[in-house]
Amino acid sequence: MAGRIIDADVAHIRDTSRIDDVVADYVQLKIAGGGQKKGLCPFHDEKSPSFHVTPSKGYYHCFGCQTGGDVISFVMKIEHLSFTEAVERLADRMNYQLNYESSSDSSPRISGSERKRVLEANKLAAAFYKEQLNGPGPAQVGREFLKQRGFDRAAAESFGVGYAPDEWDALSKHLKAKGFTDAELEMAGLTKEGQRGFIDRFRNRLIWPIHEISGDVVGFGARKLSEEDTGPKYLNTSETIVYKKSALLYGLDIAKKEIAKTRQVVVVEGYTDVMAAHLAGVTTAVATCGTAFGDEHIRILRRLLMDDDSFRGEVIFTFDGDAAGQKAAMRAFGDDQKFVTQTFVAVEPNGLDPCDLRIKSGDAAVRDLVAKRVPLFEFAIKTHLKNYDLATAEGRVAGLRESAPLVAKIRDRSLRPEYTRALAGWLGMDIESVRDAVRDAGGRNSGGRESARAPRPDQASPTITLEREALKIILQQPAVSTLWSEIEARDFSDPLYEAIRTLIGGGLQNPAQLIENQDEVIQGLLRELLVEPIQTGEINQRYAESVFARLREVSLTRQVAEIKSKLQRIDPEEEQYMGIFGELVALEAKRRALHDLGLGELAF
């Protein structure tokens, strides 16, 4: 930033800018009597004018929305500028030369005139590049590049896209002929010192002018067009007195009004994405200029999204490619969770960026992409869950173990219950288990102990006891087990028991034969099951059948839960939904029938 504008100059600008002239650039004013003028307020929607301007006193006031102030605050508010920018804008308007205080003795003094010269050089450079794009020869490669990305001549023109000729000093010559010195051009970042004097910074590249929020061109982004060019794919203006990449957003000058109005900003990744988004009707799109999205960018956007001192609105990021999840997670669960609740993510399922998406599927698809945004936390957590098969109990438990710590990491405690509830839905698990897991994860130190592996089969579990009882019956008294054929391998939740069910098959002739050729674990288990007493002491048909029926019922209950969990994760609009729903209804009916059999007094 330039130094502070000296107080005397600020006062001069305030006193000599005619507020009614300045306002008249935006609002049609009529004489209102009493030396006042009035018009329709630019800051709120109204049908009859309540926006008053008092030229003699230099201030404005709206009786509708209670906005008011002097000429500088009007420019700040309507153009979304900082104080200094607004004063500079007004000074330019009246062609006044501002003076700046240098912020410290050591920092180079930046005079208003230097700034003005740099901006002027940039403006002329932008016009020069733009004209070159229409020229013959190599510029055609640039035009072809734009065409392939879906941008016709009108689109390129409206964004001021240009071409830097494949010459050492085409731009320098042009600007020096207009009176600029080598020092000025270097200060503007348009040239750099080569072995034999100054050369143009951008050569044989497609050029995007980068505007400050006020609309001034402060620098350029340039893409290489030739394979022989050994430079980076994108080259930007280096830092200058007006080009501060950490505080610049490409497209902000054209997007700012919509951003303020809709309280939404869409952050895309490149210049062509900004163009594609705007052309597709997403007129709040901006991109950083060769740097990551940072605090300075947020600070600038805040000014547009601010409302009565509170930050409202949505910052939507379109991340493309595989790194999307990682980027989102970093942003979501990093140390700094500022504005994270207003942050959303829009990711195209095939990893297309807005520019490619527009080429492939048209404008509506780009608008759709933004419309289908999801909150950052949701996206980050769901990205983690993708690694698990949530159709299985094991997958859900592992998914919960992985994602509960994320919910616990959300700084804003008031959001945790909501995300706990949401996580239960995404996993298809009951909220109590998820709440417990989140609480445990929050209490645990960041090192996090891994839960010890449960010994298998877990004798304490009623389901396992039931499964074990069923296997004892079939192994010890095959004759009474008429319902055995109904029992499937998947009715056993324990993998070892499931394996034994498969081994037994349709019936059992000789247990000793079965034990042969098995691995030690299965052998040991089979021996136990062959001798361990049945819980009732004596096996009869009624007991056997009630155990098998109960086993089926528990298994069906588990399957119903899995299907319900699956349904929770499927959009009801999707085709498969009805099919799975039908499956659920059938399972429920079977389960009820089993239950109604009247199962005696089982302890399971």
Q: Can you give the binding site for Zn ion, defined by CB under 5 A? A: 41, 43-44, 62, 64-65
Q: What is the largest CA-CA distance in the chain?
A: 112
Q: In terms of CB distance, is 65 or 298 closer to Zn ion?
A: 65
How far is residue 418 from each of residues 118, 412, 413, 425, 564, measured CA to CA in Å? 52, 11, 10, 11, 21
10 Å Cβ neighbour count for 66? 10
Contact partners, residue 63, CB within 8 Å, separation at least 6: 50, 51, 52
3-state SS of 388-433? CCCCCHHHHHHHHHHHHHHHHHCCCHHHHHHHHHHHHHHHCCCHHH
Closest distance to Zn ion from the beta carbon of 41 (Å) = 3
169, two tokens = 């000093």
Closest distance to Zn ion from the beta carbon of 301 (Å) = 23
10 Å Cβ neighbour count for 92? 15
SS3 assignment, position 99 = coil
10 Å Cβ neighbour count for 425? 13
Q: In terms of CB distance, is 77 or 116 closer to Zn ion?
A: 77
Decide if 422 contacts 379 (C-beta within 8 A): no
What stretch of H or E contains 303? Answer: helix 295-305
If you search the block for the tokens 């319900």, which residue do you land on?
564
Q: Could you tell me which of 336, 337, 430, 402 has the C-alpha nearest to residue 375?
A: 337
Q: In terms of CB distance, is 38 or 382 closer to Zn ion?
A: 38
Decide if 355 contacts 150 (C-beta within 8 A): yes
Closest distance to Zn ion from the beta carbon of 68 (Å) = 9
Q: Whole-angstrom Cα distance, residue 194 to residue 520?
A: 78
Closest distance to Zn ion from the beta carbon of 61 (Å) = 9
Q: In terms of CB distance, is 64 or 351 closer to Zn ion?
A: 64
Measured distance between the N- and C-terminal CA atoms of the chain, rounded to whole angstroms: 75
Q: Whole-angstrom Cα distance, residue 121 to residue 191?
A: 11
Closest distance to Zn ion from the beta carbon of 33 (Å) = 20
* Interaxial angle between packed helices 83-93 and 112-132, expressed in degrees from 0 to 180 and rounded to the nearest 10: 80
Closest distance to Zn ion from the beta carbon of 44 (Å) = 4
Closest distance to Zn ion from the beta carbon of 214 (Å) = 23
Closest distance to Zn ion from the beta carbon of 307 (Å) = 14
Count of CA atoms in the C-beta half-sphere (13 A) of 272: 21
Please list the residues that pair with 53 across neighbouring strands.
37, 60
Q: In terms of CB distance, is 38 or 278 closer to Zn ion?
A: 38
Q: In terms of CB distance, is 66 or 158 closer to Zn ion?
A: 66
What stretch of H or E contains 53? Answer: strand 51-54
Count of CA atoms in the C-beta half-sphere (13 A) of 50: 13
Q: In terms of CB distance, is 43 or 311 closer to Zn ion?
A: 43
CA dihedral 138, 143, 144, 148 (to 10 degrees): 150
Query: What is the sign, positive or negative, of the torsion defined by CA atoms of 344, 349, 351, 356?
Result: negative
Please give the backbone phi and psi of residue 223, each rounded to the nearest 5 degrees, phi first: -105, 135
CA dihedral 346, 349, 354, 357 (to 10 degrees): -150
Closest distance to Zn ion from the beta carbon of 215 (Å) = 24
Amino acid found at 509: Q
Q: In terms of CB distance, is 39 or 160 closer to Zn ion?
A: 39
Q: In terms of CB distance, is 70 or 588 closer to Zn ion?
A: 70
Q: In terms of CB distance, is 65 or 534 closer to Zn ion?
A: 65
Closest distance to Zn ion from the beta carbon of 67 (Å) = 5
Closest distance to Zn ion from the beta carbon of 77 (Å) = 11
Q: In terms of CB distance, is 66 or 485 closer to Zn ion?
A: 66
Closest distance to Zn ion from the beta carbon of 86 (Å) = 19
Closest distance to Zn ion from the beta carbon of 64 (Å) = 4
Q: In terms of CB distance, is 62 or 171 closer to Zn ion?
A: 62
The beta strand positions in 334-407, using DSSP E, are: 343-345, 374-375
Q: In terms of CB distance, is 44 or 261 closer to Zn ion?
A: 44
